[in-house]
Amino acid sequence: MDLVKMERGAPIDIWDAFEGLRGEMDRALDALKVPDSAGILDLSVAPAVDVIETEEEFMVVADVPGLRKEDLEVTITGTLLSIKGEKREEKDSEKRRYLREENRPGSFRRTIDLPPRIDPERIAAELRDGILALRIAKREEAKTKTITVSPK
Amino acid sequence: MNARNEVRNRVVKVPACSVFEEGEVVVARLEMPGVPKEGLEIKVDGNELAINGAKREEKTEGRYLLRERRHDAYRKLFTLDDTIARDRIEASLENGVLTLRLHIKEAAKPRRIEVS
């Protein structure tokens, strides 16, 4: 530790330092907040997602086992794609005696910012064997074009 | 990139799984998204119940901007105790979730004895 000569007449308030630290911590915790979630456990059910770009389109593939079509909501706002899902509590589940529970009911929301080259008007969704596959077309001008050079 | 994919090892994942008792049936529920009925193999060997699921091949052309799903197959092993009837295991697959219903042997069920 350095030895600093204390200035006379300016007493150091050590609590100032703690005030600053508290502000830092508040900001760090705010950054962890997930919109539309009820608690930290919601994060664990957010599905794993792949985003693949091909020449013609973007594909977004998400694992959503156990979810039916009506449990899913896909929206697109500008380039922001949002997948919302709810794994419902099954009926008669209170009669069960769980020995192990790794797939609990709950809701999730996953938001993916897609590149600006997408055409949000042309999007197709398919659900098969617990996998949600979205195909989002590219805007015409964003597609790779081959220009043929014609001889003079 | 395709050549590399061909030699890539198969990545096997342990599926998320819940087990519960419902009356006299033990139900196991395994999350195996992407596995078709044909890709599923359920084997009982002595005390071991082995579940293998191969995912349907996914198109890999293109460039991954985000890749969180890296597995091609699922595998889960259970040890069965003596009370489970080996010949009465029912399986159903729906929306990527495998449900196994394991019945308890008649001899292992609680029996009520009438007092005369």
Residue A53 near residue A90 (C-beta atoms within 8 A): no
Flag the least confident range among A126-130, A139-143, B37-41, B59-63.
A139-143
All domains of chain B, ordered by start, with CATH?
3-55+71-108 (2.60.40.790)
Q: Tokens 């919302």 — which residue?
A: A84
**Radius of gyration from C-alpha coordinates of chain A:** 26
Positive or negative: CA dihedral A29, A35, A40, A46: negative
Q: Which two tokens stand for residue B16?
A: 């998320």
- CA dist A43 and A40 (Å) reads 6
Q: Which residues from B are below 8 Å from A51, CB to CB? A: 64-67
pLDDT above 70 covers what percent of chain A? 80
Contact flag B19-A95 (C-beta cutoff 8 Å): no
pLDDT of residue B53 exceeding 90, the answer is: yes
| pLDDT for the residue numbered B1 | 44
pLDDT digits (tens, 9 = 90+) for A74-113: 999 988 999 999 988 877 777 888 888 888 788 888 999 9
Provide ipTM, 2 decimals. Answer: 0.81
Distances from the Cα of A48 to the Cαs of A9, A44, B30, B67, B92, in angstroms? 60, 10, 16, 8, 24
CA distance A91 to chain B (A): 12
Q: Say if residues A138 and A58 touch (Cβ distance below 8 Å).
A: yes
CB–CB of B96 and A103 under 8 A? no
Taking phi first (over 0 means left), then psi (-120 to 50 degrees means alpha), and beta for anything else, what does residue A43 get? alpha
Distance CA B78, CA B66 (A): 33
- The answer, for B38 touching chain A at a CB cutoff of 8 Å, is no
Q: Which residues of B touch A61 (CB under 8 A)?
A: 58, 69
